[in-house]
Amino acid sequence: MAGFTFSEKQEKEIDRIVAKYPFKKSAMLPLLTLVQRDERVVSPEAMVAISERLDCSPAYVQSVMSFYTMYHTEKVGKYMILFCINISCQLNGCDKLLEYTAQKLDIKVGGTTADDKFTLHREECLADCTNAPMMRINDTFYGELTEQRIDQILDSLS
């Protein structure tokens, strides 16, 4: 396995993160998040690097990371679309909108566009139910979705 090394910037960030906790293992999720956000994937190599950094087995890192849905073992697109399909959104017609979005992007739910730009995932409730139907793209929440609004949003992303 070719190694994974943290960039200088990441190292700085890691120091800042680790300092928050009395036990460094607490930095597990933040470190995985850091890698996921920078690399758009958590590779086995990165898991090894994290395990060394936090003094635990790589298996443990994988065990933790595979528990959470926000980490991916396959690289995701530049824009990660999480489309809420839970009850409040369902009551507001999200299923059709999700289907619309998938068709528009010409991918299956769970897939990534050929140009690596968009990944579309079904997501459980994202805590913005009063703006249902809603979706989250990277860090931004978009509510009160309609087909036109989806067109606008997706088209505005470069």
| Region class of 19: left (phi > 0), else alpha (psi between -120 and 50), else beta | alpha
- 101-133 b/e (C-beta count within 10 Å ≥ 16 → b): bbeebebebeebeeeeebbbbbbeebebbebbb
Residue whose CB is less far from other proteins, 77 or 143: 143
CA dist., res. 101 & res. 147, Å (int):
8
Residue whose CB is less far from other proteins, 94 or 150: 94
Residue whose CB is less far from other proteins, 106 or 110: 110
**Interface contacts to other proteins, rule CB under 8 A:** 20-23, 25-30, 32-33, 44, 47, 54, 56-64, 66-71, 82, 85-88, 90-92, 123-132, 136, 139-141
Residue whose CB is less far from other proteins, 67 or 156: 67
Minimum CB separation of residue 90 from other proteins in Å reads 5
Minimum CB separation of residue 106 from other proteins in Å reads 26
Q: Does a cis peptide bond (omega within 30 degrees of 0) precede residue 58?
A: no
